[in-house]
Structure 1
Amino acid sequence: MSSSAKAEAVLALHRFGMGPRPGSIAAIEADPRGALIAELDLPSAGEVAAASLPSSAKAFRAVTDAYAKRQAKAIVAKKEQDAKRQQMAEAASMTEGAAEGTSEMAAKIAAEAVPDPGRPIYLEEARVRIAAALGTEIGFGERLVWFWSNHFCVSADKIRSMSGAYEREAIRPHVLGRFTDLLLAAEGHAAMLFYLDQTVSMGANSVAGINRTRGLNENLAREILELHTLGVRSGYTQEDVIGFANVLTGWTLVPPGDNPEHGGEFTFNPRLHEPGVQKVLGKIYEDETVEQGRAVLRDLAAHPATATHVATKLARHFIADTPPAPLVERMAKVFLDTGGDLKEIAKAMVSSPEAWTEPPTKLKRPSEWVVGMVRATGLSQADPARFTDGQALLGEPLWRPSSPKGFPDDEGSWINGMGRRLDVANNFAERLSGGVDPQDVIETVLGYLVSSEVKQAVSRAESRQQALVLLFMSAEFQRR
Structure 2
Amino acid sequence: MQDIASFIALNRFGLGPAPGEAEAVMSDPRGWIAAQIALRHREPAELAGFESSEAILAAIHTARVKGDRDTRKTTNTMLRKRMVQELLARARAMIATPVPFAERMVLFWSNHFTVSATKGLIAPALPAYEREAIRPHIFGRFSEMLVAAIRHPVMLSYLDNAVSLGENSPAGQRRRQTRGSTKTLNENLAREILELHTLGVNGGYTQADVIELAKVLTGWGHGGVRGRNAMRPVHGGFEFRPGFHEPGPKTLLGRTYPEDGDREGLAVLSDLARHPSTAQHIATKLVRHFVSDDPPADAVDRIAQVFLDSDGDLAEVSRGLIELDAVWAEPLPKVKTHYELVISAHRVTGEDQARRRDVLQPLREFDHLPFTAPSPAGWGDRATDWIAPEALMRRIEWLRRFSGSLPATLYPDQLLDQAIGPVVSDDTRLWVSRAPSGDAAIAMILASPEFQRR
- Indicate the TM-score class for this superposition, using the shorter chain for normalisation: over 0.9
* AA in 2 matched with 1:209: G
Q: Which residue in the other structure is 1:454 paired with?
A: 428
**Alpha-carbon separation, structure 1, partners of 2:109 and 2:45:** 16
Task: Find 1:140's aligned residue among 101, 115, 120.
Answer: 101
Q: Does 1:250 align with 2:183?
A: no
Q: Which residue in the other structure is 2:288 paired with?
A: 316
User: Contact between 2:18 and 2:349, CA under 8 Å: does it hold in 1?
Assistant: yes
User: Contact between 1:59 and 1:121, CA under 8 Å: does it hold in 2?
Assistant: no
* AA in 2 matched with 1:180: S
**Alpha-carbon separation, structure 2, partners of 1:64 and 1:146:** 29
SS class of match (2:162): helix
**Alpha-carbon separation, structure 1, partners of 2:4 and 2:206:** 48
Q: CA deviation at 1:317?
A: 1.1
Q: Which residue in the other structure is 2:19 paired with?
A: 22
Q: Does 1:171 align with 2:134?
A: yes
In the comparison of the two structures, how many residue pairs are matched? 441
User: Contact between 2:60 and 2:76, CA under 8 Å: does it hold in 1?
Assistant: no
Name which of structure 1's ranges 424-433 and 220-229 shifts more when overlaid on structure 2. 424-433
**Alpha-carbon separation, structure 1, partners of 2:161 and 2:92:** 33
Q: Does 1:38 align with 2:35?
A: yes
**Alpha-carbon separation, structure 1, partners of 2:87 and 2:207:** 38
Task: Find 1:156's aligned residue among 97, 117, 131.
Answer: 117
Q: CA deviation at 1:144?
A: 0.4
Q: CA deviation at 1:280?
A: 0.5
Q: Which residue in the other structure is 1:80 paired with?
A: none
Q: Which residue in the other structure is 2:53 paired with?
A: 56
Q: CA deviation at 1:327?
A: 1.0
**Alpha-carbon separation, structure 2, partners of 1:303 and 1:120:** 42
Cα deviation, 1:65-89, whole Å, max 9, x if unaligned, reads 4456763449xxxxxxxxxxxxxxx
Q: Does 1:116 align with 2:77?
A: yes
Cα deviation, 1:310-361, whole Å, max 9, x if unaligned, reads 0000111121101121111110000000000001101101111111013412
Shift of the 324–166 alpha-carbon distance from structure 1 to 2, 3 Å rule, reads same
Cα deviation, 1:16-63, whole Å, max 9, x if unaligned, reads 101012111101100101110011111445655433100001112223
Q: Does 1:346 align with 2:346?
A: no
Q: Which residue in the other structure is 2:416 paired with?
A: 442
Task: Find 2:367's aligned residue among 386, 395, 401.
Answer: 395
SS class of match (2:422): helix
* AA in 1 matched with 2:138: V
SS class of match (2:16): coil
TM-score (norm 2): 0.92
Cα deviation, 1:206-254, whole Å, max 9, x if unaligned, reads 0001101251000000000000000012210011000000000000001
Shift of the 328–317 alpha-carbon distance from structure 1 to 2, 3 Å rule, reads same
Q: Which residue in the other structure is 2:399 paired with?
A: 425
Q: CA deviation at 1:260?
A: 7.8
* AA in 2 matched with 1:237: T
User: Contact between 1:321 and 1:410, CA under 8 Å: does it hold in 2?
Assistant: yes
* AA in 2 matched with 1:360: L
* AA in 2 matched with 1:249: T
What are the equivalent positions in structure 2 for 1:182-261 lying under 5 Å apart? 182-213=145-176, 214-255=183-224
SS class of match (1:399): coil
User: Contact between 2:41 and 2:139, CA under 8 Å: does it hold in 1?
Assistant: no
Cα deviation, 1:250-282, whole Å, max 9, x if unaligned, reads 000011676886611001000000000001001
**Alpha-carbon separation, structure 2, partners of 1:207 and 1:247:** 15
User: Contact between 2:118 and 2:374, CA under 8 Å: does it hold in 1?
Assistant: no
Q: Does 1:371 align with 2:371?
A: no
SS class of match (1:369): helix
Q: Which residue in the other structure is 1:8 paired with?
A: 5
Shift of the 316–473 alpha-carbon distance from structure 1 to 2, 3 Å rule, reads same
SS class of match (2:166): coil
Shift of the 271–260 alpha-carbon distance from structure 1 to 2, 3 Å rule, reads closer
**Alpha-carbon separation, structure 1, partners of 2:98 and 2:44:** 14
* AA in 2 matched with 1:305: S
**Alpha-carbon separation, structure 1, partners of 2:333 and 2:115:** 29
SS class of match (1:340): coil
**Alpha-carbon separation, structure 2, partners of 1:290 and 1:58:** 23
Gaps of 5+ in 2: 177-182
User: Contact between 1:304 and 1:336, CA under 8 Å: does it hold in 2?
Assistant: yes
Q: Which residue in the other structure is 2:179 paired with?
A: none
Aligned-CA RMSD value: 2.0
Gaps of 5+ in 1: 75-109
**Alpha-carbon separation, structure 1, partners of 2:77 and 2:123:** 11
**Alpha-carbon separation, structure 1, partners of 2:69 and 2:332:** 57
Q: Which residue in the other structure is 1:105 paired with?
A: none
SS class of match (1:117): helix
Cα deviation, 1:437-476, whole Å, max 9, x if unaligned, reads 2222123343323223222211210112211111111111
* AA in 1 matched with 2:318: A
**Alpha-carbon separation, structure 1, partners of 2:426 and 2:42:** 37
Name which of structure 1's ranges 39-48 and 265-274 shifts more when overlaid on structure 2. 39-48
TM-score (norm 1): 0.88
Q: Does 1:332 align with 2:322?
A: no
User: Contact between 1:25 and 1:445, CA under 8 Å: does it hold in 2?
Assistant: no
**Alpha-carbon separation, structure 2, partners of 1:332 and 1:114:** 46
User: Contact between 1:40 and 1:176, CA under 8 Å: does it hold in 2?
Assistant: yes
Q: CA deviation at 1:290?
A: 0.6
Cα deviation, 1:145-198, whole Å, max 9, x if unaligned, reads 100000001012322121000000000011100000000000000000000000
User: Contact between 2:47 and 2:90, CA under 8 Å: does it hold in 1?
Assistant: no
* AA in 1 matched with 2:54: A
**Alpha-carbon separation, structure 2, partners of 1:215 and 1:114:** 31
Larger Rg: 1
Shift of the 59–271 alpha-carbon distance from structure 1 to 2, 3 Å rule, reads same
